[in-house]
Amino acid sequence: MALDQPMFDLRELQLAARNHGVPLEALRYPITPVGLHYLLIHFDIPAVDPGSWRLDVGGAVGFPLSLSLDDVRARPQVSVPVTMECAGNGRAGVSPHVVSQPWVLEAVGTAEWTGIPLRGLLEDAGLADEAVEVVFEGLDSGIDGGVEQHYARSLTVGQAMADDVLLAHTVNGDPLPPQHGFPLRLVVPGWYGMTSVKWLRSITAVREPFAGYQQAQAYRMRRSEDDDGEPVSLIAPRALMIPPGIPDFLTRARLVDRGPVRIEGRAWSGRGDIVGVEFSADGGGSWAEAELGESAGRHAWRGWSYLWEPAATGACELCCAARDAAGNRQPPHASWNVGGYANNAVQRVAVAVR
Ligand SMILES: Nc1nc2c(c(=O)[nH]1)N[C@H]1C(S)=C(S)[C@@H](COP(=O)(O)O)O[C@H]1N2
Ligand SMILES: [Mo]
């Protein structure tokens, strides 16, 4: 991706100006300050009156529910630190170019979400035996792929009943801000972010698989326009480093002083625990094992570090690659699909050592 090549158009700039990523230096925080957490909003942030807001739980259930925000807060509460990543993270690196939210590498964040376990709520509503999926619908609406819709996604009953899936009203100890789903959102640990529906208005148990746009058309790994593709689901492993030294304003290229440099970063995967992170100072020609640090919880990213001793002054390319317990390792180069999803190719940081 040549920096001075005109590649993005005004449609992408409009999206990029609305939906920001995490500045990579903010990887220093185990829990991302909420204003630095990435943001992805397909349509508009809906206006919500918390006094009249209700969450309707219905469909194939024995006891339909309509909960106020106070009803939600009166139930037993849990807090779970979760690393969330947009399925489009890395899209700017795929070729041929895919026109959509043009993430480079920064569509990720870790927050401590507080709310109520979804499973308990579905049990209280008396989920029917015929229910196969649960549909989560947001208050926000718009047009996507020519289809007018409320943003909505589904989970199978098994996925919805899993441990640590929650309906969150609080993030990092404060009520959700408007942009992150006030007053209530779904949080599904380990899954790409599109699953975690914001601004919830209803939860509906259904007897047939949900065929809404964001489920059946978008978020599928399609090799061509007429390929159905597999659904995008669990987060592929990724490690990111805090770019060392100081940046050039325009190009973001780094200037680093010679001498040992402590490289630090975070690594995560929704497909298995992180078991290793490798570091390369020669563009991936040779790799060394980094030291793994702590994580804030079983669904949160893990710190890592590597003491790099630059061999000489001059230009080099730093890379890092994560491995998870399921045997996945980040690939050196991007692979392509229609939506530009789940590109977890290794990060490359251009550095000049002086
Ligand atoms: N209702 C609603 N929920 C949504 C979205 C949306 O546009 N509308 N975007 C999804 C996508 S694609 C992502 S990556 C995450 C982003 O969550 P965040 O903005 O809180 O980081 O929210 C998901 N939930
Ligand atoms: Mo996303």
Sign of the Cα pseudo-torsion (61, 67, 71, 73, in order): positive
Whose atoms come closest to the Cα of 108: which ligand?
1
- Whether 139 and 271 map to the same domain: the answer is no
**Which atom of ligand 1 is found nearest the CA of 40?**
19
Asked if 145 and 247 sit in the same domain, the reply is no
Does residue 167 sit in the same domain as residue 256?
A: no
How many structural domains is the chain composed of? 2
Q: Would 1 be classed as within a structural domain?
A: no
Ligand 2 centroid–CA 74 distance in Å is 31
**Same domain (yes/no): 284, 333:** yes
Asked if residue 5 is part of any domain, the answer here is no
The residue from 231, 252, 278 where one domain ends is 231
Q: Which of 213, 231, 249 is the last residue of a domain?
A: 231
Q: From the CB of 139, is ligand 1 less than 6 Å away?
A: no
Q: Examine residue 176 and state whether it is found in any structural domain, yes or no.
A: yes
Task: Give the pair of three-digit tokens for residue 28.
Answer: 């220093």
Q: Are residues 213 and 261 in the same domain?
A: no
Question: 140 with 269, same domain?
Answer: no
Distances (CA, A) of 326 to 137, 159, 274: 32, 19, 9
Do 92 and 20 share a structural domain?
yes
76 and 205: one domain?
yes
Shortest-distance ligand to the CA of residue 41? 1
- Residue 1: the pLDDT is 64
Q: Are residues 200 and 274 both part of a single domain?
A: no
**Which among 245, 237, 285, 286 has a CA at the least distance from the CA of 263?**
245
Specify whether 128 is located in the same domain as 81. yes
Specify if 4 maps to a domain.
no
| pLDDT at site 5 | 76
Residue 334: how many CA atoms within 13 Å on its side-chain side? 23
- Contact indicator for 74, 151 with CB cutoff of 8 Å: no
Q: Three-state secondary structure along the chain?
A: CCCCCCCCCHHHHHHHHHCCCCCHHHHHCCCCCHHHCCCCCCCCCCCCCCCCCCEEEEECECCCEEECHHHHHHCCCEEEEEEEECCCCCHHHCCCCCCCCCCCCCCEEEEEEEEEEHHHHHHHHCECCCCCEEEEEEEEEEEECCEEEEEEEEEEHHHHCCCCCEEEEEECCEECCHHHCCCCEEECCCECHHHCCCCEEEEEEECCCCCCHHHHCCCEECCCCCCCCEECCECCCEEEECCCCEECCCCCCEEECCCCEEEEEEEECCCCCEEEEEEECECCCCCEECEEEEECCCCCCEEEEEEECCCCCEEEEEEEEEEECCCCECCCCCCCCCCCCCCCCCEEEEEEEC
Q: Which residues of 251-287 are buried (b: 16+ CB within 10 A; e: fewer)?
A: eebbebeeeebebbbbbbbbeeebbbbbbbbeebeeb
The pTM of the full predicted model, rounded to 2 decimals, is 0.98
Q: In angstroms, rounded to a whole number, what is the distance separating the alpha carbons of residues 295 and 300?
A: 6
pLDDT, mean of each 10-residue run, the chain (354 residues): 81 97 98 98 98 98 98 98 98 96 98 98 98 98 97 98 98 98 98 98 98 98 96 98 97 95 98 98 97 95 97 96 98 97 98 97
For ligand 1, atom 12, name the residue with the nearest CA.
194
Structural domain that includes position 257: 238-353
Query: 295 and 203 in one domain?
Result: no
Q: Which of 32, 37, 42 to mutate to test the pocket of ligand 1 (most atoms within 8 A of CB)?
A: 42
Out of 187, 191, 194, mutate this one to test ligand 1's pocket (max ligand atoms within 8 Å of CB): namely 194
Q: Where is the domain boundary, 185, 200, 231? A: 231
**Residues 250, 213 share a domain:** no
Residue at token pair 């100081």: 246
The pLDDT score that the predictor gives to residue 40 is 98
